[in-house]
Structures are given as structure tokens and as C-alpha cells.
Structure 1
Amino acid sequence: MRRRPPIEERIAARQRERGPLKPGAYFEHGPAKMLFFFGIGVVVVTHLIALSMYFLDAG
């Protein structure tokens, strides 16, 4: 039975096939960029809500 190569070799082969990113590109594909900015947005909104609750508390 043939064994698969180690995970490190499979990752390296996949990265060789893909090649370098285009100049000025930071994300490999659109969904990664969308997920990143969505996560940043959630963090900012939750911080704003927490700060407003802290400073605008009636008590």
C-alpha cells in the first residue's frame, strides 16, 4: 500500500503550484478578505457598544 507524503511536503507542493501573490495583494482570495473585514467590524462594533454602556450608563 502506498503511503502519502508528509503534510509539510504536501503543503510545500501546493504553495509551489500556486506561485507568488500579485504585487499589492495581501489576501489569496476574496472570501478571506471579506471574512477578515467582517471580523474587524464585529470587534469595532462590540467595543463601541461596550464603551457606550460604560460612559452613558444612567447609574
Structure 2
Amino acid sequence: MFHRKPIEERIAERVAKRPPLKEGKHFEHRPALIVFCVVVGLIILKIVGAFVLMQSGLR
């Protein structure tokens, strides 16, 4: 339509330009690490909260 490459080709070119992932590094992007930590933190907070409610005798 506008004489652009298909989205798959554009994504493939962008991925090819990225440097290889460093050894021992699990998250390629900082926001991915932040989202992962927030999700894990919420899960831990929920479990700890449940134990606190059980210990206090509330239902």
C-alpha cells in the first residue's frame, strides 16, 4: 500500500541489528526486569498477607 516492507521483515532487521546477549544476563531490557520484580513482589506480598490473616484468626 505505502511501499513498506512487511512487519515481519522490519522486525527481523531490528533484531539482527541488536548486539548479542551478554553472558549471564537474563533480561534484555530494563523494563522487563522491573515488571518481573513487581509481579514477584506482589505474589510474595499476597502470600505473606494470607499467612498474617490466618495467624490473626480473621477469616
In structure 2, runs of 5+ residues without a counterpart are: none
**How high is the TM-score relative to the length of structure 1?**
0.71
Aligned alpha-carbon RMSD (Å):
2.1
User: Residue 6 in 1 paired to residue 6 in 2?
Assistant: yes
The superposition leaves residues 9-53 of structure 1 with CA deviations (integer Å, 9 ceiling, x where unpaired) of 121111101131011111112232122112111111012112332
Identity %: 39
For structure 1, which runs of at least 5 residues remain unmatched after alignment? Answer: none
Deviation (angstroms), 1:55 = 4.3
> How many corresponding residue pairs?
59
Q: TM-score, normalised by structure 2?
A: 0.71
Structure 1 segments of 4 or more deviating over 3 A? none
